[in-house]
Amino acid sequence: MNKGFPAGNARPYWVLAAVVTVLAVAFAVRLRWSPDFGVHAATVERLRESLTHPGNPLVDEDGPSPYYSPYPLLLALIARVTGLSAVTVLAMAGPVVIVVLLWGLRAFVRTLTDRPRAPVLALVFVLVLWGVQPRVWSGFFSLWALPFVTAFPSTLALALTLLLWAGLSRTLDAPARWPRHLGLGLLGALVALVHPVTTAMAGLGALALVAVRARHLPRTAWLGLAAAAGLAVAAITAWPYYSFTGLLSASHELWYCCSRARPSWWRSGGSPAGTRWVGPGPPSRWPASSRSPSSCPVPWPAAMSR
């Protein structure tokens, strides 16, 4: 483990990072719309209109929504203060998210090795290792997805996860300090609230980082980790806009519902002409509530028409 973070030659990484940032700015100026972008813009707009009773961003009704995370809340506050539209603020957030991602990637790689080329190679592989025809999908970060996903919560959650792992490594390799542990707890809660799906990856990575050091951790470090975990759970539970535990309990039925809306190439296991179903069962075995079209999320234009 690299405990000292030797400086090395960071210039190649920051040159490449600057190029990626310029691309992100260009994509923000020449906005490429996608259905997911509309959903997130609608979320910011609902919060911009009302912070206390925003309603559901997908349908015209009241109720909680997991889209209401600290990220769109911050963007909505900026929109209210500046008078900018939700679309403009969300587009402007894209390059900022990319900068955080680039910072987090280098910070985490430096905890693994002090070789100066390692962060550069890591960034190159993150961008192009998916191949020349990757799935342009939220959570599949790549060079080809960059025009669409820069401002998405999944991208921000990935950036925060890298910072979480880097901070956890540094904290475990240094004398125990309670402020650092508590900061990790808040950062972990932020990842979970911003993009709950990323929580699994962030948690598994954190467990791996702890596991490789478990034999040498003092008692104070374990107490700090317990405090961090407790603070994360408390912060997630206290979030007023939606119930994280309720989201987990409803995820099974939601999976059935959203499976119906997936493109045929996804349902067929990646082959447009295939017939193999990769879900847990045929439609006849789905819950009755998920067989109803009205139970599935509506397209984003309906959310934007409010």
Task: Per-residue pLDDT tens, the chain, 306 aa: give them.
Answer: 554 444 456 789 999 999 999 999 998 888 777 778 889 999 999 999 999 989 888 877 787 888 999 999 999 999 999 999 999 999 999 999 999 999 999 999 999 999 989 999 999 999 888 877 766 666 678 888 888 889 999 999 999 999 999 999 999 998 888 899 999 999 999 999 999 989 999 999 999 999 999 999 999 999 999 999 999 999 999 999 988 877 766 665 555 555 555 554 344 444 344 333 333 333 343 344 433 433 344 333 333 333
Residue 15, both tokens: 């040159």
For 54, other C-beta atoms within 10 Å of its C-beta total 24
Task: Please write the tens of the pLDDT for every residue from 4-60.
Answer: 444 456 789 999 999 999 999 998 888 777 778 889 999 999 999 999 989 888 877
pLDDT for 44 equals 95
The answer as to whether 1 is a domain residue is: no
Range of the domain at 56: 11-242
pTM of the complete model beyond 0.85: no
The answer as to whether 22 is a domain residue is: yes
Residues 95 and 53 in one domain: yes
DSSP single-letter state for residue 297? P
Q: How many distinct structural domains can be found in the chain?
A: 2
Q: Is 219 left (phi over 0), alpha (psi -120 to 50) or beta?
A: alpha
Residues 187 and 104 in one domain: yes
Q: CA-CA distance, 104 to 99, in Å (whole number)?
A: 9
* Amino acid in position 203: G
pLDDT for 250 equals 62
pLDDT for 8 equals 54
- Strands (E) located in 132-285: none
Domain boundary among 242, 262, 286: 242
The answer as to whether 6 is a domain residue is: no
Q: CA-CA distance, 156 to 141, in Å (whole number)?
A: 11
Residues 152 and 253 in one domain: no
The answer as to whether 280 is a domain residue is: yes
The answer as to whether 5 is a domain residue is: no
The answer as to whether 4 is a domain residue is: no
The answer as to whether 65 is a domain residue is: yes
The answer as to whether 88 is a domain residue is: yes
pLDDT for 74 equals 97
Residues 253 and 225 in one domain: no
Residues 257 and 174 in one domain: no
Q: CA-CA distance, 42 to 114, in Å (whole number)?
A: 43
pLDDT for 255 equals 56
Residues 223 and 277 in one domain: no
Helices 153-172, 70-82: axis angle to 10 degrees equals 120
Task: Please write the tens of the pLDDT for every residue from 121-154.
Answer: 999 999 888 877 766 666 678 888 888 889 999 9
Is the separation of the CB atoms in 99 and 159 below 8 Å? no
Helices 118-128, 86-112: axis angle to 10 degrees equals 130
